[in-house]
Amino acid sequence: MPVLDIPALIDDRVRAVRDYHQRTGLERAELDLSGGIDSAVMAGILALALGTDRIALVYSSINSGHATQERARVLADALGIPLVFHDLTETYQAMTSSMVDNLEQAGFDRQTIEDRIRSDNTILGSIRSCIRAPLGRGYLRMMGNGLRHGTGNECEDRWLRFYQKGGDGEVDSNPIAMLSKGEVYQLAHGLGIRLNAVDAYRAIITAAPTPELWGAAVSHTDEDEIGTYLGITDTRETFYSYIDPDSGAYTSVGLIERVARFVDTPEGVGLFDDSATESDLIRIGRAAQQSAAFAGVDSSAIDRMLAAARRTERITRHKENPNCPTLGDRTEMVRSGVLTNQLPDPTE
């Protein structure tokens, strides 16, 4: 398994978060709890690092679905941390309505704006993400100030940058940024055992990942949204890796994690290099076809994924925040035997 020592990984991330708080002199933390896997893992890490009485967990709803609210509530109860629930629906509706009015008054065509909004759910989705950020920061200040922790993992934050810069990207740290989605699932499996919260974590592990930024009336998952964004909607491969909720073993290896592990090899290191020539990219593509990172993947899917990864990395660079600490790096974890870059074969 990519996580070779789950208890050691938990201890490492707990120690890193605790040390960060000690260095800054700030004892409290805020976390947006979404009902998804990444925030569930961070909630468990924070509980172990700081104690439950120093954490603010905030669930902000904007036409959110009942299922995510319930998963967040059950996990917070299992961890013994109060959950702040804030319904932003009326605020959001009033604000977006005024925005359309204001654009029209400034001379923009209202029909064009409304048609654009109807045809692209990510427009209002990005606004939902952005107005949640100051809410979490505000609750943190009201409770005595502290650090606002992020939930971005490697599969979302590294080259895809699947986050909103002024929304879920507005944080003071990203302690799981070096872990793939599959490794985050494995960490959740271990935290469920460590914290006596197996059932709460299992419910989240088995739920389909969703940003839930389009409103409860529009169902969408990370897999669907990422596939559309990358222009790859007809592959049999998943974009994320997933695990068995009982054993914690990988049941599938996602294309995003495959790209990451390939780019970490000498053969793939130039994929995101602006100076790469056409011959360089052909060489990299051929190496990918032979790489263990893409074992069992159709050759056409590999070619399309590499091209999509390169294109996406370039157009999302404006989101990169090098000043947001990850509190450690993958290389050291691999060197110490906590992680491995060797991907498993779930069919074996």
C-alpha dihedral (268, 274, 278, 284), degrees to nearest 10: 0
- 166 versus 10: the higher-pLDDT residue is 10
Secondary structure, 3-state, 18-70 = HHHHHHHCCCCEEEECCCCHHHHHHHHHHHHHHCHHHEEEEEEECCCCHHHHH
The proportion of the chain whose per-residue pLDDT surpasses 70, expressed as a percent, equals 97
Predicted pLDDT at 287: 98
Q: What is the pLDDT of residues 315-332, one digit of tens each?
A: 999 999 888 999 999 999
How far apart are alpha carbons 224 and 232 in whole angstroms? 10
Q: Taking 90 as the threshold, does the pLDDT of residue 347 lie above it?
A: no
What pLDDT, on the 0 to 100 scale, is given for residue 213? 61
Asked if residue 216 has pLDDT above 60, the reply is no
Give the Cβ contact number of residue 135 at 10 Å: 17
Mean pLDDT value of segment 100-104: 98
Kindly indicate the confidence band of residue 215, based on its pLDDT and cuts at 50, 70 and 90: low
Q: Is the distance from CB of 62 to CB of 89 less than 8 angstroms?
A: yes
What pLDDT does 40 receive?
98
The span from the CA of 305 to the CA of 279, in Å, is 18
List, for residues 73-82, the tens digit of each pLDDT value. 999 999 999 9
Over 70: is that where the pLDDT of 212 sits?
Answer: no
User: Could you report how far apart the first and last alpha carbons of the chain are, in Å?
Assistant: 12
Span 8-17, average pLDDT:
98
Q: What is the structure's pLDDT at 234?
A: 86
Q: For position 166, what pLDDT does the model report?
A: 86
Question: Half-sphere exposure (CA, 13 Å, Cβ side) for 118?
Answer: 6
- Provide the pLDDT for residue 205: 98
271: Cα within 13 Å, side-chain hemisphere: 28
Q: What is the distance, to the nearest Å, from the Cα of residue 316 to the centroid of all Cα atoms in its chain?
A: 15
Q: Which two tokens stand for residue 220?
A: 């969408």
Can you tell me the distance from the alpha carbon of 91 to that of 63, in angstroms, rounded to the nearest whole number?
A: 11
Q: Residue 63: which of 96, 98, 92 has the closest Cα? A: 92
| Domains of the chain, first to last | 6-220 (3.40.50.620)
Which two structure tokens, joined as six digits, stand for 272? 């995101």
pLDDT tens digits, 285-307: 999 999 999 999 999 999 999 99
Interior/surface letters 324-335, b for 16+ CB within 10 angstroms, e for the rest: bebbbebeebbe
User: What are the Cα distances from residue 194, in Å, to 7, 41, 147, 201, 243?
Assistant: 8, 12, 24, 11, 18
Contact 160, 226 (CB under 8 A): yes
pLDDT the model gives residue 188: 98
- Span 110-146, pLDDT tens digits: 999 999 999 988 899 889 889 988 999 999 999 999 9
* 205 touches 185 (CB < 8 A): yes
Arithmetic mean of pLDDT over the chain: 94
- Which pLDDT does position 214 carry in this prediction? 55
Q: In this structure, which amino acid lies at residue 231? A: G
Tell me what pLDDT residue 198 has: 98
Residue 320 DSSP code: -
- Is the pLDDT at 222 greater than 90? The verdict is no
Give the length of the chain. Answer: 348
Q: How do beta strands 250-252 and 242-243 pair?
A: antiparallel
CB–CB of 81/43 below 8 Å?
Answer: yes
80-91 pLDDT, tens per residue? 999 999 999 999
The stretch 91-109 carries a mean pLDDT of 97
> 219 falls in which pLDDT band (50, 70, 90)?
low
